[in-house]
Structure 1
């Protein structure tokens, strides 16, 4: 049984927002992350599902522009290379969310803050993984770090020993909880995310987590999504490859270059990094947010149509868009199929209510440092 939160609700967050508004925005973040993850999951394999192939899939199903969950495939060749979970993730078939690491780590991060508070250590992050997270539900850098923990290594060696995935996207997908619990305080959110990320990542892998946490924290109070992105850039080294790439996407957007051409340009400037590396995925995410222009549906759609790690990018884009939109204003076609229920491999959390996760996150946000 997952412990349930108490019923008292806070009246305001650190940025002075009213309690109901903060509650709606945090709930929107959870719903946006889970809906985005579900939207992108069937085509999560960037080597196969290029931007062009995703759009061909949608065109054959008469689903462009994309305004709902992915349609069922009409081409047997597409059906053969979709993720095996696709039948539970396409429109008309969704009955609650599928299990996925993009959501598992968010739940695990919530448990971390409830168990150890905001003063948690990197060692405590690792201990909680061993306690609650099945080894075979970890991937790339997280699996290496998990194995290193079992072998008795301690951070930062857990991130560097026999780990070729140190700058991949895994730490970034763990960052949302730190943004939601630090509304309007991107620097504090980034600090929490860094302490989590160094268990398994280095360099741009860590910067990606810091940037994402700061972006989500800033989304609560920034006048626009562009302002939130600018705030997030302030927490990572300006000369890092991640910061340079995010600024490049923003500059191309400002020049009125079409979305497709912006992604093609940046892809040509970041060759050889692979479809799970933090930097090219941050480019897709940044483009989705800027060209989505605070429209929830368009933001999610562009995050998936951008290719690469589709479910991770759409999950983070959905988190930002959900915070900015609030749960009450997210179109029902995204939220109703989730049935307020999430599947999870995290011990003690399978079948938990999304609304309960949001309530527990609200308490942490209201508690502050």
Structure 2
């Protein structure tokens, strides 16, 4: 049975590895499920069990993210810089600086101090601009921000789960305080759900139990909860992963590929069909398309907590070289193991 330290390190490694796996194909309007699998088939990498291979020809690589050269199989030397990892680092700094009693205003203060404006996107960039113009929460989330229910707040939630092991309701409350700086509605519920999912993974006997526990912290009638329950019910009937995602694509048609609801469906399907196996979980999640690096990161975090760092296969860990590249001021080049140790101290602290 992995101990707390091993599970927290597993969460960090899982988030970073899942992010790196999904990064080359992160553009859901171009890299559909079908196109991702076609690329993997052409490169001899289906079923996916390792980082995505580099393209065989120039034309194959034309639509990959520009960063692909640093995050494909055989080329990885430490983690690439990415907002999906930056926000986990920034969340750690938030809790170390202000403690678990932090306010939403303090989240904004730390963004302005530590985070470059051009490394923020969608709702976070809108909120950052609003902060710089003197607005305060909750106006920072609602003024001139068409991205209020997109995935940004969800990708910031991991730290609240890692520092609330076995306490999903507490994790959700922390994540909500963070999320309302930039999001509303399902955007906030996505952060609460993800934090609770990760917190529950520390003690849940199965991934299904963690998914069920996470649903208890958000309104049962919200679209996010209904979508996650729909995925779980289809899984229970024995529907395949492919058929499940095809069904959910129809039911969430019209939502942007960065909207939190369809992405939560992809994460849930990857977790349930991955059945606790780290490689299968992040591979299915990334193959699910949409916001591939964000989804791979969240699914990897949950799977890493469930199995612990020791059980994550070495070919996912070794290329990361225990190193994080980060745009968060003061953290570039920090060791993954150090981030996990600092997270463990918070999880074991007097306020935890």
| Shared fold, TM over 0.5 | yes
Q: Aligned ranges for residues 53-132 of structure 1 at < 5 Å?
A: 53-132=35-114
1:234 is matched with: 216
1:320 is matched with: 302
Q: Which secondary structure state, in structure 2, belongs to the residue aligned with residue 187 of structure 1?
A: helix
1:252 is matched with: 234
Question: d(CA) in 1 for partners of 2:309 and 2:204?
Answer: 18
1:65-104 per-residue CA deviation (whole Å, 9 max, x = no partner) reads 1000000112433311100000000010000000000000
1:213 is matched with: 195
1:314-336 per-residue CA deviation (whole Å, 9 max, x = no partner) reads 00000000001111110000000
Question: d(CA) in 2 for partners of 1:122 and 1:297?
Answer: 36
Q: Does 1:353 align with 2:335?
A: yes
Gaps of 5+ in 2: none
Gaps of 5+ in 1: 1-16
1:280 is matched with: 262
1:35 is matched with: 17
Q: Aligned ranges for residues 43-54 of structure 1 at < 5 Å?
A: 43-54=25-36
Q: Which secondary structure state, in structure 1, belongs to the residue aligned with residue 298 of structure 2?
A: helix
* Aligned pair partner of 2:147 in 146, 149, 165: 165
2:161 is matched with: 179
Q: Which secondary structure state, in structure 1, belongs to the residue aligned with residue 80 of structure 2?
A: coil
Q: Which secondary structure state, in structure 2, belongs to the residue aligned with residue 261 of structure 1?
A: helix
Q: Does 1:199 align with 2:181?
A: yes
Question: d(CA) in 2 for partners of 1:77 and 1:273?
Answer: 29
1:306-357 per-residue CA deviation (whole Å, 9 max, x = no partner) reads 0000000000000000001111110000000000000000000000000000
1:306 is matched with: 288
1:344 is matched with: 326
1:116-147 per-residue CA deviation (whole Å, 9 max, x = no partner) reads 00000000000000000000000000000000
**Aligned positions, number:** 351
2:345 is matched with: 363
1:331 is matched with: 313
Q: Which secondary structure state, in structure 2, belongs to the residue aligned with residue 128 of structure 1?
A: helix
Question: d(CA) in 1 for partners of 2:66 and 2:278?
Answer: 27
1:10 is matched with: none
Q: Which secondary structure state, in structure 2, belongs to the residue aligned with residue 79 of structure 1?
A: coil
1:267 is matched with: 249
Question: d(CA) in 2 for partners of 1:280 and 1:320?
Answer: 18
1:153-210 per-residue CA deviation (whole Å, 9 max, x = no partner) reads 0000000000000000000000000000000000000000000000000000000000
1:26-61 per-residue CA deviation (whole Å, 9 max, x = no partner) reads 000000000000000000000000000000000001
Question: d(CA) in 2 for partners of 1:271 and 1:82?
Answer: 24
1:134 is matched with: 116
Question: d(CA) in 1 for partners of 2:108 and 2:23?
Answer: 26
2:138 is matched with: 156
Normalised by the length of structure 2, the TM-score is 0.99
Question: d(CA) in 1 for partners of 2:71 and 2:307?
Answer: 23
